Structure 1
Amino acid sequence: MKQHLYLLFFIINFQIVSAQVFTQETIQNNGDNDKRLNLVILSEGYQSTEFAKFKTDAITYTNTIFSTPPFSEYANFFNVHIIYVPSAESGADHPGTGSTYYETNFPIPTTDVDTYFNATFDSFDLHYLLFYEIDENYANNTELKINSVLTDNFPTYDQALILVNSPYYGGSGGEFPMASTDPAGQQVAIHEIGHSFFNLKDEYYPGDIHVGEAINMSAESNITAVKWKNWIGTNAIDVHLNGTTSAGEKWYKPANGSCKMEVLSQSFCSVCKEGMIEKFHDLISPLEKYSPNNTTVNNPEFPINFDLTLIKPNPNTLESSWILNGNAFASNVDGVTIVEPDLNTGINTLTTVIHDNTALLKIDNHETTHISTVTWTINQSTLGLETIESLSDYFKILMYPNPASDSINLKFESEATEMITVDIISVDGRKIVSKTLSNLNTSTLDISTLSSGIYLANFYSKNVLLASKKLVKE
């Protein structure tokens, strides 16, 4: 579920940045902020007389971002807000000290302007690197200013982007990606958000200090063991060399020249898209609200309507199953109606289980599965309906490695459930082994004695099937 990022004031070099509130505006609104991912765009190098231009530029950037897969499919998961931060002068600094290749091909006039976040070309001696300050030594104080602006104006942001009023090619990543208004800047921003929000690595070799295990980078080259093994052979995904460190260690990537993390004009590769969608689901549930909700309903009357409001991808890939007293009742609908003959005398349980079945996730072998549930407890006596109580939950279920030879690791995280059960089922439907899992704890299941082949791992909460995942025993 979404984790709000409440920023705290902090002191660097004994300096405290005072609170300052700026005008803000929402330019993409898909629902309540606490039920959405919030992208906040800050103006830099825009004078107050240029704020209309900033809004236009920010809308252009937003439209481009959310026409890019997988943002386009999951645009409903996002709100976008802009904060009008005034600069005394327009543009960005360009001291003219950067590398000559890009200076020749992308010339920028030498300038020194007074802007709020001190956006600077030639940062780290790279002509096109547009960063807040010239290098890391000066950046701390500006990071304090950025954090202060976000704290004072939109503390629950999920990702911030600094849009610089400069027509020249440039940008940078890091915690707060920055991009210019150059026509290519929109693609630069999307690439840099790939770093900042999703921890994607460059798929051109980024240099020894920037390598490491990530969604789209690994030191593993074995196609049966690499983390994106389930995508190999699909959409040109393979194990491609990404470079060699000075120590001789080799690093690999899933795509070769066909991913936005390598070439700006390309789409994100399948592996990156999967990791991005995983992040979306890590932060928010697609269940926005439901009815009857968390309060007890006394003396209801038939028929009873049970309804869901879902945050749906486009096209909609959410699937739902409805279970009444342990029996399938409906599927892939946003609401059901219960009439008196549907219920038993006593306590009845209606549960809906919602998950995303997008083809952009390799469900069978994907390590993590996210499930939203709502359970209504309906008390039906001989005198009629007495009460309806409800409880929602959001599960994150992990199973790895897969394929496996000796053992698998199992873990789940839940907001309201302490125990679930996993059953390992053979292809002929026999239950081979069953294990109880406790919330937040990793359990190891020994499968060394099982015959090689394909099994199902079924995960249950109070006899309701949450997820069914294919397990490959080597």
Structure 2
Amino acid sequence: MKKTLLLLLLIFNLQLVFSQTFEVLKIKDSGEDAKRINLVILGDGYQESELSQFETDATNFMNDLFAEEPFASYENYFNVHIIKVISTESGASHPGTANDESSYTVPAQTIDNYFDTTYDSYNIHRLLYTSNQASISTVLATNFPTYDQALILVNSPYYGGSGGQFPIASTGEDAGEIAIHELGHSFVDLKDEYYPGDVLAAEAINMTQETDPSLVRWKNWIGINNVGIYPYATSGNASTWNRPHQSCKMRYLGYPFCSVCKEGIIEKIHDLVSPLDSYTPTETTISEASFPLDFEINTVETLPTNTLQSTWTLNNVNFATNVNTVNIEESDLNSGTNNLTVIVHDATNLLNIDGHESIHLATVSWSIDNTLGIQDITANELNLSMYPNPTNNVVHFKLENTLANSIVVEIVSMDGKQVKTVTLNNNQDTQVDISTLSQGIYITNFYENQVLIASKKLVKN
């Protein structure tokens, strides 16, 4: 479900601001740009004679990124492009004015690079940054306006980087680790798991002031893979904030992302890209039906083992599971109109499925007349959220889907009795009062056009 607002704003800015055109090269091609997350890497501090080195540096970062989970598992969801921005001089400026200069042995210098990246930003030596964010936006708008995430690699051998809208990293010590850490900030809005200071402390995927294990944002992971509720410090404001892990990449370079951060990254990937790449047939065929009728889907598989699952139903009855092709015989159909639906979802164990708040689904439905053939085809992408869970009195449902369809939710007790029914409308928060229900576990069933597309456990405290 890609967002177009940023693109429109960039195109508008393009009409107002002149920007230079640079060579754009695709260094990773996983599929159509419109169906992938487009990561765009720009260079700063590379002279024209150093552009081959920039391509090498960008490729090295890309290889580091896709060796790191969960990016390794979802490599097929990304395309990577580079923009060969040419600077007048090599490197990045270093005024030598930061408060912590005594900890570093880096020569002071002023460099005329394209984006004005410099060390010592905000009086921190290793904070390699540029306040000239507009120039980055303009280069992107001119050269690759349909980007999803951009990153700046700076041609400098000294340790440094920053987050923000556009992550920035040097190509020196720990270059790949820095860039991946900073990408966590910019792509997913992950917070540092070392204390980032009072100004940057905020509620986020991996940062909270909540201490109740039943309410904390990552409650589903507590006790799994060393996830807990760990204060940032023992005193001061930092002690009022908590992180989920003691050794996540968002705290220390050289460590993997913790389970909570991995889940957040996967959620972002699911927000941007459908796991369903294509399907056939795509056109109606109102004519005399010729059997068997063949139906096929192509999915964006995860690696190394594909965790995508597909469920095919014919007239609301399970027809096939975890196959990409089905064949419908005339004997399979009822007289009149029939409905064949395939539902694709990701069953990775990197998401805590039982207690996970969101469900991402892709569906395709074909209406089939047993004599005339395919009458109608609809494809949809859905994001269903149910929270909080467990809950005492009220459960919230939120629906986002590309077709703006309504979804029917049925809450069913464990003995099979339907206790609540509610209709969800697109982009609305729907509250359901369950205060009168008995404590225990219930099943919530989600229906699109009378087809069961998902089920989740609901715990009533």
Could you say which TM-score interval applies, normalised by the shorter chain?
over 0.9
Q: Is the 8 A contact 1:17 1:144 kept in 2?
A: no
Kindly provide the CA deviation profile for residues 84-114 of structure 1, in whole angstroms up to 9, marking residues without a partner as x.
00001111111111233xx444421121121
1:38 aligns with 2:16: no
5+ residue gaps, structure 2, are none
Matched letter for residue 171 of structure 1: G
Alpha-carbon deviation of 1:240? 0.6
1:296 aligns with 2:284: yes
Structure 1's 243 and 158: CA in aligned 2 closer, same or farther, altered over 3 A?
farther
Alpha-carbon deviation of 1:246? 6.1
Matched letter for residue 116 of structure 1: Y
Partner of 1:462: 449
Q: Distance in 2 between matches of 1:143 and 1:386?
A: 55
Any idea what SS the aligned residue of 1:99 has? coil
Partner of 1:399: 386
Aligned residue among 137, 148, 153 for 2:138 = 148
Partner of 2:10: 8
Q: Is the 8 A contact 2:364 2:379 kept in 1?
A: yes
Partner of 2:111: 113
Q: Is the 8 A contact 1:200 1:214 kept in 2?
A: yes
Partner of 1:201: 191
Q: Is the 8 A contact 1:9 1:148 kept in 2?
A: no
Structure 1's 33 and 10: CA in aligned 2 closer, same or farther, altered over 3 A?
closer
Matched letter for residue 269 of structure 1: C
Q: Distance in 1 between matches of 2:192 and 2:384?
A: 29
Q: Is the 8 A contact 2:231 2:238 kept in 1?
A: no
1:448 aligns with 2:448: no
Alpha-carbon deviation of 1:463? 2.1
Structure 1's 342 and 248: CA in aligned 2 closer, same or farther, altered over 3 A?
closer
Q: Is the 8 A contact 2:117 2:129 kept in 1?
A: yes
Q: Give the superposed CA RMSD.
A: 1.8
Q: Distance in 2 between matches of 1:67 and 1:225?
A: 33
Partner of 1:136: none
- When the two structures are superposed, what TM-score results if normalisation uses the length of structure 2? 0.96
Equivalent positions of 1:299-448 (< 5 A) are 299=287, 300-314=289-303, 315-381=305-371, 385-448=372-435
Q: Is the 8 A contact 2:231 2:240 kept in 1?
A: yes
Alpha-carbon deviation of 1:443? 1.5
Any idea what SS the aligned residue of 2:427 has? coil
Q: Which moved more, 1:116-125 or 1:229-238?
A: 116-125
Alpha-carbon deviation of 1:428? 2.2
Alpha-carbon deviation of 1:248? 8.3
Q: Distance in 1 between matches of 2:254 and 2:222?
A: 23
Kindly provide the CA deviation profile for residues 224-263 of structure 1, in whole angstroms up to 9, marking residues without a partner as x.
110101100000001110248966881111111x100100
Equivalent positions of 1:113-262 (< 5 A) are 113-132=111-130, 139=131, 142-243=132-233, 250-256=240-246, 258-262=247-251
Q: Is the 8 A contact 2:230 2:243 kept in 1?
A: yes
Matched letter for residue 301 of structure 2: K
Any idea what SS the aligned residue of 1:131 has? coil
Matched letter for residue 171 of structure 2: T
Q: Distance in 1 between matches of 2:98 and 2:107?
A: 12
Q: Is the 8 A contact 1:106 1:169 kept in 2?
A: no
Alpha-carbon deviation of 1:10? 7.0
1:64 aligns with 2:64: yes
Q: Distance in 2 between matches of 1:247 and 1:273?
A: 27
Structure 1's 97 and 9: CA in aligned 2 closer, same or farther, altered over 3 A?
farther
Partner of 1:285: 274
Matched letter for residue 396 of structure 2: N
Any idea what SS the aligned residue of 2:26 has? strand
5+ residue gaps, structure 1, are 133-138
Q: Distance in 2 between matches of 1:10 and 1:126?
A: 35
Q: Is the 8 A contact 2:316 2:452 kept in 1?
A: no
Kindly provide the CA deviation profile for residues 147-186 of structure 1, in whole angstroms up to 9, marking residues without a partner as x.
1100001111111100111111111111111111113011
Partner of 1:269: 258
Matched letter for residue 131 of structure 1: Y
Q: Is the 8 A contact 1:106 1:168 kept in 2?
A: no
Alpha-carbon deviation of 1:118? 1.2
- Runs ≥4 residues deviating over 4 A: 243-249
Matched letter for residue 48 of structure 1: E
Q: Distance in 1 between matches of 2:89 and 2:425?
A: 58
Q: Is the 8 A contact 2:66 2:75 kept in 1?
A: yes
Structure 1's 168 and 234: CA in aligned 2 closer, same or farther, altered over 3 A?
same
